[in-house]
Amino acid sequence: MSKYIPGNQKHLTLNDRIYIENELAKGTTFKDIAAFLCKDPTTISKEVRAHRLSDWYHKGTFYNAKNFCIHRYHCQKTNACGKILLCGIKCASCPTCNQTCKDFEKERCKRLDKAPYVCNGCTKKINHCTIAHKYYYNGRAADRKYRELLISSRSGINMTRHQLHQ
């Protein structure tokens, strides 16, 4: 916590987490969210990264079920796996390209690698985004996850005296 920001030095509440979720959806920066909540921006950053939810959104098509390569739109390779002798199917429409092609590069979103680390507030609609692995911040789910961790960290060892002596 920054010594220059006055605050209550307490844990984030459910209302704080819901506020973070709403502001991320608007595209607000961590610095502005932190200033409103009287917290340090790194606190907000750590909260979002620790409690973001992972989800897969990839409809795929009949020809391209699960190819996540960044080269799939302009790739002309065929039979990279070498399984079938006369395979005429382009590797771009084959899901095994992910494991066998030496030029495979997984498609990544820059928004997930740096702040805000989540898809909340992204300008692309979910069905127009080509990234399959998405992350979201949900305030209620984050608070529930935090409370479970808090309770489990404060409980003792689940062991009898006899088991302990053994």
Domain limits, the chain: 69-106
Query: Which residue carries 């502005």 as its tokens?
Result: 32
The whole-number pLDDT of residue 42 equals: 93
CA-closest candidate to residue 23, choices 13, 14, 34: 34
* Other residues' Cβ atoms within 10 Å of the Cβ of residue 77: 14
Q: In the predicted model, is pLDDT for residue 147 greater than 60?
A: yes
Per-residue pLDDT, averaged over 37-62, amounts to: 82
Summarize pLDDT for 94-127 with one digit per residue, the tens: 667 777 778 888 888 888 888 899 989 888 876 6
With tokens 């409690």, the residue in question is 51
- pTM value is 0.74
Vertex 122: Cα angle to 118 and 126 (nearest 5): 95
Q: Are 93 and 63 in contact (CB under 8 A)?
A: yes
Give the pLDDT of residue 102: 81
Where is pLDDT greater, at 52 or 102? 52
**Mean pLDDT within 137-148:** 95
**Range with the lowest mean pLDDT among 54-68, 69-83, 128-142?**
54-68
**pLDDT at res. 61:** 47
